[in-house]
Structure 1
């Protein structure tokens, strides 16, 4: 494989790792927020109205940001009925087909997320709740994570092609 492709794969994998580890730390943010909410509501009798919604936004960020590292580490769920019995080349061929489907899906999702983000920016879209937060940050994060997932999907294409060629990336 050309050096530029190897560099692309290394950079994409590194970005996916960084974003994934950052996503993992969001569990502590969610836990702390929910504990804070429980204490202020039940012990101090001072309900805060933003905690549950903030936790929902954080969970969405956790989900979006966890996608690229899950894809990189090959930890997605798959039917192992036939796959486990395939050779490495057979797995690479099947994975190329499924990654192609994934790239199409992510492309459609990216177009939709860009459109949704543009609408949110143009209208100043907010959630209809007592807290009334802007949805622009979470929609921007979704769009950025879809771009990173697409980058990771193309990285997988390069890895599978290398496997078919008898190389290793």
Structure 2
């Protein structure tokens, strides 16, 4: 069982590490968009797409970088008591709190899947069966949701990124849970 846990941890940590290292460069994409926005407003006609595109890039940066941040332990913690605890006590506390986080991420993931299905023109109440139907050909994409701004981009790409980010965060939380279990068993992580 420990070998299976270690294999899962290794794969998930590797995927999230690589994704995080790639996504951290999105800050430069964001800076480029905002720089172009400033230049176009000053010297040319203002671009209508820059603000919304900057928001989309920031969402991707934040949500896809979250699992990497969690993996490195650089997430915000209340260190008043936690910093002084032993590794075993921290593992017990993390084991308890990660259960709440897994539930929360599950609810967010369900909402993201529902919202993405809606953005693809699905009006029903079973978003997972809609995506299964898309794969088998029994469902079709309807009228796609667009933003209400003047640029009017389709919303499904950013909502799909939200699904990916939440799924990777869920996997990283399970990886951290398994690491805590290994620590409590006294095995090296």
Q: Give your verdict on TM over 0.5.
A: yes
Name the structure where helix makes up a greater proportion of residues.
1
2:114 alignment counterpart: 115
1:4 Cα deviation after fit: 2.1
Match of 2:171 among 132, 151, 155: 151
Match of 1:136 among 156, 159, 181: 156
TM-score normalised to structure 2 length = 0.85
TM-score normalised to structure 1 length = 0.95
Aligned partners of 2:167, 2:117: CA distance in 1, in Å? Answer: 16
Aligned partners of 1:150, 1:10: CA distance in 2, in Å? Answer: 15
Aligned partners of 1:26, 1:35: CA distance in 2, in Å? Answer: 14
Say if 2:88 and 2:184, in contact at 8 Å, map to a contact too: yes
Aligned residue runs from structure 1 range 11-90, under 5 A = 11-43=11-43, 45-90=44-89
1:6 alignment counterpart: 6
Aligned partners of 1:23, 1:98: CA distance in 2, in Å? Answer: 27
Partner SS, residue 41 of structure 1: helix
1:3 Cα deviation after fit: 2.0
Gap regions ≥5 residues in structure 1: none
Determine if the alignment matches structure 1 residue 124 to structure 2 residue 144.
Answer: yes
Say if 2:19 and 2:65, in contact at 8 Å, map to a contact too: yes
Partner SS, residue 154 of structure 1: helix
Aligned partners of 2:56, 2:19: CA distance in 1, in Å? Answer: 17
1:138 Cα deviation after fit: 0.5
User: CA offsets per residue over residues 90-116 of structure 1, 9 Å max, x none?
Assistant: 000001011111101001111111111
Aligned-residue CA RMSD (Å)? 1.1
Aligned partners of 1:2, 1:89: CA distance in 2, in Å? Answer: 18
Aligned partners of 1:85, 1:166: CA distance in 2, in Å? Answer: 19
